[in-house]
Structure 1
């Protein structure tokens, strides 16, 4: 759990790793709000009572795409509803927009053949767990891809979470993007040196997109010059 007092420390780490937009989990702040700082903006969402439930917010300096921060609940009876709500949220975004979904999915993705259509082969797991199946099915139904395991990296640049014994590691945090925009993702990897007082490692994606130039209507331009 992160406290408001160390947000400056987290912001400094994000600047160090040149992160423009970050999703942060388990803040457990009360209700919802926006905090504007000189170099970044915090958008957070929590429950009515402070310290209860899992919350997340986005630390944003440059926010140009539709970004959804998600955390999978451990309770099985709530998983179905969570994923249904997430799917509706994605489907409600205009098709021409770029959508990015990222966060702690508590998902382990294996080497199953059907997964290859939405994910890469560079996973650290052999078997897909229940959350992994749900995540892959979500990607299939919403026409997205799981970019996190499409890039070849050493083991320590792929695992995203460390157990309290500091000997057990797993890959449970992922980044998804609209399928037609998957070529915009140039790399996804983990940085274990980022300090944020958490057992999760910093997972980063390098995304490059072209910005279309808007052309003014020639007649309107000429009319404006005459006036």
Structure 2
């Protein structure tokens, strides 16, 4: 876990991460369990990327916390120039279901299970922002589509 103390340290860590990603020829990556002190993302000066990985509130979180999360995410996406591509990576703590007919352009035909409340919030956000939940598009084992399964 990268746990930063001040902005100077954050910049140093982001430079190390950028170097490693460059060495591995990786253009897109999401880093989980990264904690940036007092920041939600980190833009490396002079670089063409932003280090940011979404971690949404859990299903048990207060509805006000979930609303604040999606309000902040909407605010961030609205700042992105219209001709830029948006890829949001992270853990949204959702089950989005498999109703691709009702959610055209948001869900692919390879979703799993039933939608929960967090999934509804994510589907609505994606519909507003014209985004697609891509792990519902590609054929893969159901066990690989989720980070955590409840019984």
Shared fold per TM-score greater than 0.5: yes
Structure 2: any 5+ residue segments left out of the alignment?
A: 4-12
Alpha-carbon distance in 2 for matches of 1:169, 1:20: 33
1:135 aligned residue (105, 113, 122): 122
How has the CA–CA distance of structure 1 residues 85 and 108 changed in structure 2, closer, same or farther, with 3 Å as cutoff?
same
Superposed, 1:1-227 pairs within 5 Å as 2-3=1-2, 19-31=26-38, 45=39, 63=48, 69-74=53-58, 75-76=61-62, 77-112=64-99, 113-123=101-111, 125-159=112-146, 161-162=147-148, 168=149
Question: Which protein, 1 or 2, shows the higher relative CO under an 8 Å CA cutoff with sep ≥ 6?
Answer: 2
Larger helix percent: 2
- Provide, for residues 135-181 of structure 1, a one-character-per-residue CA deviation record: whole Å limited to 9, x for no partner: 1101111112222211112334433x14xxxxx479xxxxxxxxxxx
CA contact (8 A) 1:23 1:57 kept: no
Q: Offset of 1:24 from its aligned partner?
A: 1.6
Alpha-carbon distance in 2 for matches of 1:15, 1:99: 24
Larger strand percent: 1
How has the CA–CA distance of structure 1 residues 63 and 157 changed in structure 2, closer, same or farther, with 3 Å as cutoff?
farther
TM-score (norm 1): 0.47
TM-score (norm 2): 0.67
Indicate the SS of the match to 2:68.
helix
- Provide, for residues 88-118 of structure 1, a one-character-per-residue CA deviation record: whole Å limited to 9, x for no partner: 2212222122111111100111122422331
CA contact (8 A) 2:53 2:89 kept: yes
How has the CA–CA distance of structure 1 residues 96 and 22 changed in structure 2, closer, same or farther, with 3 Å as cutoff?
same
Q: CA RMSD in A?
A: 3.5
CA contact (8 A) 2:2 2:33 kept: no
Alpha-carbon distance in 2 for matches of 1:129, 1:103: 17
How has the CA–CA distance of structure 1 residues 87 and 30 changed in structure 2, closer, same or farther, with 3 Å as cutoff?
closer
Q: Offset of 1:56 from its aligned partner?
A: 6.4
Structure 1: any 5+ residue segments left out of the alignment?
A: 32-44, 46-54, 163-167, 171-227
Aligned length: 133
